[in-house]
Amino acid sequence: MSDQLDIAYIAGLFDGEGCITYKQYMRKRKGQKKAYPTWSIRMEIAMTDKSVLIWLHEVLGVGTLGEKRYRTKYTVGWKKQWRWRCQFRDAYYVCKLIWPFAHVKLPGVQKIIEHYSKEILMNDKVVDFKKYKEIMSLE
């Protein structure tokens, strides 16, 4: 577990530079005739300072880090941007960490926490979140 000061700094960084995607849309997958509802749950931070994102990635231990690519002719001469991002249960983990310190992105953080708080994955089995909290408090 990371130091609380690091987590607070990450929450502030995320409030200023981050983005949360939490939406449901209809998606037709390859080989399917019908579109089905699909969730898009993602968190990301994009910036030109790669070292900060490397540190963030190491502290959190989740997500991916890579170059953000532009697809337009107008970006010639722009500084290279780097992007850290995570999705689904990794985003839930990060939201649980930064929730006490988040301000600007708090509504999105709370949506992700509420989405996953009913059940969590433990030892390849889905269990009730309240039961899990009780078990963890006994240890």
CATH number of the domain bearing residue 114: 3.10.28.10
Query: What is the domain count for the chain?
Result: 1
Q: Which two tokens stand for residue 73?
A: 């002719």
pLDDT of residue 130: 66
Spatial contact of 93 and 62, defined as CB atoms under 8 Å apart? yes
Q: Which two tokens stand for residue 77?
A: 């001469």
- pLDDT for 28 beyond 80: yes
Spatial contact of 58 and 2, defined as CB atoms under 8 Å apart? no
pLDDT digits (tens, 9 = 90+) for 30-55: 888 888 888 999 999 999 999 999 99
Write down the mean pLDDT value for the chain.
Answer: 85
Kindly provide the b/e burial profile for residues 84-96, where b requires at least 16 CB atoms within 10 angstroms of the residue's own CB.
bbbbeebbbbbbe
The rounded distance, in Å, linking the Cα atoms of 67 and 51 is: 12
CA triple 131-137-139, angle to 5 deg: 110
Range of the structural domain that residue 125 is part of: 4-138
pLDDT digits (tens, 9 = 90+) for 58-112: 999 999 999 987 777 777 778 889 999 999 999 999 999 999 999 999 999 999 9
